[in-house]
Amino acid sequence: MTKYIDQGKNDTRSGYGEAMTELGRTNPNVVALCADLVGSLKIQPFIDENPERFFQIGIAEANMMGIAAGMTIGGKIPFASTFANFATGRVYDQIRQSIAYSNKNVKICASHAGVTLGEDGATHQILEDIGMMKMLPGMTVINPCDFNQTKAATLAIAEYDGPVYLRFGRPKVANFTPVDQKFEIGKAVMLSEGTDVTIVATGHLVWEALIAAEKLEEQGISAEVINIHTIKPFDEEAVLKSVKKTGCVVSAEEHNYLGGLGETIARTLTVQHPAPQEFVATQDTFGESGTPDQLMEKYGLNNKAIEKAVLRVLKRK
């Protein structure tokens, strides 16, 4: 299988911050909004260089989404950022009416998604956001896997006209994708070809999927690993092509199994090419306090969980 090297652990949110700094210099229409979490979103350099294009909204996420929607009417490209929980569930109706239904060019940029925010616990984590956002007509949903890809995604969505939900996280994770990658919205990335099983992963679980594939290879199992950075629009063709070859699939995501990437895959397969599937995802639960590693272990979101899921799905082929 294709080998990937960890170029050094980094947090995906810093990829967002770095891209915002770049956008501040290259795209005069980009404006940044934040709800009292500048430090967490890594956008201080953008603010330092473009103070007039930064809007501190305060602890008022509903107002932030509305202001972002209004700014698009003057041709601005607002990047509205806060923690994923407060960027989605708290303001679902504001996003639905003022952004998605109104088809406004707002980029909702959500950090600290999933459980790996860690010690703050369930109130500050979210495992339902992909589901909520993908159910909104017209909303693009992106969940990049590492620092480099988050940076590339942030730059790419500035060029795309329409509402986008961009999801990233807090912990430092392996940075393994190319620094100069081209980010194509809606286009899956084939990371490693294989013949026995397809592992489709998103976000922090992509690196874990690569580790699992290596361990499976040692057992004589050839896994194909696909990185779905864009959950909507979903690259059906890439997944179908792979599953037609391997005959089974494991989906892996830091999200509830209800409403996430796994469900999108299951629907695609059910309609077009029924095949056994196993879900690596949380099982309809809230998170809790703990270190990221502890939480990944407890909620079955790491390479070990993926490996086990592959062994299960192979028996069902």
Partner 1 sequence: MKTTKNEHLQMAKLDELQDIVVQTRRDILRMVHKVNSGHPGGSLGCTEFLVALYNEVMDLKEGFDMDGKDEDLFFLSNGHISPVFYSVLARKGYFPVEELNTFRLLDSRLQGHPTTHEGLPGVRVASGSLGQGMSVAIGAAAAKKLNGDDKLVYSLHGDGELQEGQNWEAIMYAAGNKVDNLISTIDRNGQQIDGPTEEVLPLGNLKEKFEVFGWDVLEVAEGNNLEAVINGLKEAKSRTGKGKPVCIILDTMMGNGVDFMMHTHAWHGKAPSDEQLENALGQNPETLGDY
Amino acid identity of residue 88, one-letter, is: T
* Alpha carbon distances (Å) from 315 to 68, 205, 209, 247, 261: 50, 23, 19, 11, 22
Q: Measured between alpha carbons, how far is 117 from 125 in angstroms, rounded to an integer? A: 6
Question: Is residue 51 involved in binding partner 1 (CB under 8 A)?
Answer: no
Q: Interacting stretch for partner 1, rule CB under 8 A, among 71-79, 152-160, 217-225, 232-240? A: 71-79
Q: Three-class SS of residue 261?
A: helix
Q: Interacting stretch for partner 1, rule CB under 8 A, among 99-107, 112-120, 215-223, 248-256? A: 99-107
Q: Which of 15, 17, 78, 131 binds partner 1 (CB under 8 A)?
A: 78
| Shortest distance (Å) from residue 87 CB to partner 1 | 15
Q: How many chain residues touch partner 1 (CB under 8 A)?
A: 32
| Shortest distance (Å) from residue 188 CB to partner 1 | 29
Q: Which of 3, 51, 74, 271 binds partner 1 (CB under 8 A)?
A: 74
Question: Is residue 69 involved in binding partner 1 (CB under 8 A)?
Answer: yes
Q: Which of 62, 122, 240, 258 binds partner 1 (CB under 8 A)?
A: 62
Task: Give, for 79, the enclosing helix (H) or strand (E).
Answer: strand 77-83
Q: Which is nearer to partner 1, 73 or 190 (CB)?
A: 73
Q: Using an 8 Å Cβ cutoff, are 164 and 142 in contact? A: yes
Question: Is residue 107 involved in binding partner 1 (CB under 8 A)?
Answer: no
Question: Is residue 103 involved in binding partner 1 (CB under 8 A)?
Answer: yes
| Shortest distance (Å) from residue 31 CB to partner 1 | 7
Q: Interacting stretch for partner 1, rule CB under 8 A, among 54-62, 166-174, 203-211, 242-250? A: 54-62
All residues at 6 or more sequence positions from 12 whose CB lies less than 8 Å from its CB, including other chains: 111, 144, 145, 146, 147, 149, 150, 168, 169, 173, 203, 204
| Shortest distance (Å) from residue 82 CB to partner 1 | 14
Q: Which is nearer to partner 1, 135 or 240 (CB)?
A: 135
Instruction: Give the neighbor-by-neighbor strand order of the sheet with 230-232.
Output: 54-56, 30-34, 77-83, 107-111, 164-167, 140-142, 230-232
List, as one string, the DSSP characters of 179-223. Answer: TT----TT--EEEE--SSEEEEE-TTHHHHHHHHHHHHHHTT--E
Question: Is residue 19 involved in binding partner 1 (CB under 8 A)?
Answer: no
Q: Measured between alpha carbons, how far is 246 from 314 in angstroms, rounded to an integer? A: 10
Measured distance between the N- and C-terminal CA atoms of the chain, rounded to whole angstroms: 22
Q: Which of 9, 90, 96, 273 binds partner 1 (CB under 8 A)?
A: 96
The set of catalytic residues is 61
Q: Interacting stretch for partner 1, rule CB under 8 A, among 74-82, 194-202, 238-246, 296-304? A: 74-82
Cα dihedral sign, 41-46-47-52: negative
| Shortest distance (Å) from residue 277 CB to partner 1 | 35
Question: Is residue 73 involved in binding partner 1 (CB under 8 A)?
Answer: yes
Q: Which is nearer to partner 1, 85 or 251 (CB)?
A: 85
Task: Give, for 107, the enclosing helix (H) or strand (E).
Answer: strand 107-111
Backbone angles phi, psi at 188, to 5 degrees: -65, 155
Residues at the contact surface with partner 1, assessed by CB under 8 A? 31, 52-53, 55, 57-58, 60, 62-76, 78, 93-94, 96-98, 101-104
